[in-house]
Structure 1
Amino acid sequence: MTVDRNAVQPWQWPEEEWRRLVQRVRAGRRLRPGKWKNGAQVAVALSFDSDHETNELRDGGRSINRLAWGQYGHRIGIPRILALLEKHAVPASFYVPAVTALLYPDEQRRIVEAGHEIGIHGWIHELNSVLALDDERDLMMRSLDTLEKVTGKRPTGMRSPSADFSENTLQLLCDLGISYDSSMAADDDCYELELFGKPTGVVELPFDWVRDDAVYFLMHRFQGLRPYTAPSEVFDIFKRELDGAYQEGGLFELTMHPHVITNRSRIWIVEELITYAKSLPGGVWFARHDEVAAYALQHGVESE
């Protein structure tokens, strides 16, 4: 029985209702390999959400200033990121709203030609949880088709915009043949997603806000969003996350945004992390998210 949640308070829900909500999408078996590719001690998966102007557009915003900030991600952010990745011979994953791809198709082709991955990130950075099933399916399919048309490669992974998952999202991923997701944070390491207690074969490569540059650096002059953490402190947080992953033999996933991390006072964070990771004894495997997900699914062993 499904309860009308608008008619009763959560404490009035029958047990089957809150159990149904909890079990809808659940973390299944953990997929941490005994060793990563080539015997590496830790896997490092860098990612960039190329939101660009869609952060303003998705809410119906018309601020020329904020649209310009989004354009910074294209004009300055992506070139700086690609140059840095090329300098250190490190691959990365880019999650791209379809509208961004349509605005800047050459940017996406350049990313793919450099050996990086492009994954789904919504149509216009919409929130999945407010969409009806048919609308969510339509936008996901249009996003897949658009990215494939622009880049020549069909995406195999998704990061939901703003890490926003609906009750239908996982079933749609299964229906559309998406092999992995990177939107949720039920673990530090990869795990298999379950739908109503049944394994789906879809790998979750965990995202977490503590490893996201936006929570430390975003600013909105009409809202209460103000940067409060110094770049040196953000580097320390990310480095400690990397150290923990290294000690456990796990995964270090980092989420960044071209219009946020690439200011002159911040881009050094990425370079210092790459340099530090390469100095770790025992080896590090820098990989795209699709590569990590595939390796974890094939070689992962559930922890005792």
Structure 2
Amino acid sequence: MAEVEYWPQGARCVALLTVNLDADQFWLGMFPDSINRPKTLSMGGYGIKRGLDRVLRTFEEYNIKTTFFVPGKVAENYPEAIEKIIGYQHELAVHGHTHTSMHLLTADQQLEEMEKAKEAIRKISGIVPVGFRAPEGELTLETLKLAKQCGFKYSSSLYGDDRPYTIFLENGTITEIPMHWELHDFPYFAFNYGPAFPSGQGRVASYYQVTRTYQREFDGYYQYGLAYVAQFTPQTIGSPGKIKILEDVLQYITQSENLWIGTCSDLVDRSLVIKKEIF
């Protein structure tokens, strides 16, 4: 029996197959000295040059529109990638500007990150993004207030539920679309010797087990009528072998009846927000 009955079009369950287009900015934001590490940066470049096209073609094969969270610097440095995403009619949302972890920044610096990224995407696409996902790393208590101040109507940055909920802030409200690490490909596959990432150096996961994790989690979300929020990163999922993980996951979930799949902004616009939380 589903827990909720108010998803778009009366669906039993919703699925958001989101993409983090970090490119080389992930490494520059997490490890600034990567500017002098061409091997490290090349992994992010691979996501733009090779992985992105495979991801876009896979979504097109299943007629899926989703949300791409993009750092402003990536939009500035790779405008042709942004044009491709727009061409496939996906949503563009903000993923920081330099992909620097928000907890390392002052409030003014955080707001500057959001505003610069928002403007970079608007300048290239003509679209004003309405969504925000904090870069990997921690937030501060002010981050969501600043996101609201910057004009975002939703965030997808926290892990506190498996349904969207309203966060009440001092300056208004914002909708949170929560996610979970087990539905993020990057922690399973990202690896680098120097700078060491992850610091313990444990990688790379079994393709089969990762595929089954995405599928098994979907079974639970579908059973209880929740919001399945997956994350994919072109520099990892976009390799010739790993793209089949995405293909297999999409094939698996699209066989389900009464499932709604769409963008984050469409979900926020068309769903009843089911939980309220004070921030």
TM-score, structure 2 normalization: 0.91
Q: Give the alignment of 1:186-265 within 5 angstroms.
A: 186-195=160-169, 200-222=172-194, 223=196, 224-265=200-241
Whichever residue aligns with residue 205 of structure 2, its letter is T
Residue type of the alignment partner of 2:237? I
The alignment partner of 1:134 has SS state of: helix
Alpha-carbon shift at residue 302 of structure 1 (Å)? 4.8
- Counterpart in 2 of 1:300? 273
Q: CA deviation at 1:106?
A: 1.5
Moved over 3 A (4+): 300-303
Unmatched segments (≥5 aa) in structure 1: 1-31
Of the three residues 33, 38, 42, the one matched with 2:9 is 38
Residue 121 (structure 2) aligns with: 147
Deviation larger for 161-170 or 233-242: 161-170
The Cα offsets for residues 87-124 of structure 1, whole Å up to 9 and x where unpaired, read as: 11001111111111111112112212211011111111
> Is contact 1:180–1:205 with CA below 8 Å preserved after alignment?
yes
> What secondary structure, in the 3-state scheme, does the structure 1 residue paired with 2:191 have?
coil
- Partners of 1:33 and 1:109 lie apart in 2 by 37
CA shift digits 1:211-257 (9 cap, x unpaired): 11111111111323332420110111111111111001111100111
Shift of 1:139: 1.8
Separation of aligned partners in 1, 2:81 and 2:231: 19
Provide the secondary structure at the position in 1 that maps to 2:18. strand
For 1:37 and 1:48, how far apart are their aligned partners in 2? 21
Give me the whole-angstrom Cα distance separating, in 1, the residues matched to 2:117 and 2:187. Answer: 26
Is 2:49 the partner of 1:75?
yes
Superposed counterparts of 1:121-140, under 5 Å: 121-140=95-114
Q: Is the 8 A contact 1:34 1:301 kept in 2?
A: no
Q: Counterpart in 2 of 1:280?
A: 256
- 1:4-49 Cα offsets, whole Å, 9 max, x none, are xxxxxxxxxxxxxxxxxxxxxxxxxxxx851422222111101111
Opposite residue 8 of structure 2, the aligned amino acid is: K
1:53 maps onto 2:40 in alignment: no
Name the aligned partner's letter for residue 152 of structure 2: I
Per the alignment, residue 265 of structure 2 pairs with 290
Contact kept, 8 Å, 2:164 with 2:274, in 1: the verdict is no
1:182, 1:204 within 8 Å by CA — same for their partners in 2?
yes
Using the alignment, how far apart are the partners of 1:105 and 1:34 within structure 2?
A: 40
Larger radius of gyration between Structure 1 and Structure 2: 1
Counterpart residue number, 1:84: 58
Q: 1:183 aligns with which of 154, 157, 178?
A: 157
Match in the other structure for 2:142: 168
| Matching residue's letter, 1:111 | I
Alpha-carbon separation, structure 2, partners of 1:199 and 1:185: 22
Residue pair 2:19, 2:67 contacting (<8 A) in 1 also: yes
Aligned residue in 2 for 1:21: none
Aligned-partner Cα distance in 1 for 2:164–2:88: 26
For the 8 Å contact 1:123–1:140, the answer to whether it is kept is yes
CA contact 1:121–1:159 (8 Å) conserved in 2 = yes
Distance 2:42 2:181 in 1: 25
- Percent identical pairs in the alignment equals 25
Q: Tell me the C-alpha RMSD between the 2 structures.
A: 1.7
Indicate conservation of the 8 Å contact 2:5/2:11, yes or no.
no
**Is the Cα contact below 8 Å between 1:192 and 1:199 reproduced in 2?**
no
SS of residue matched to 1:51: coil
Question: How far apart are 1:163 and its partner, in Å?
Answer: 4.7
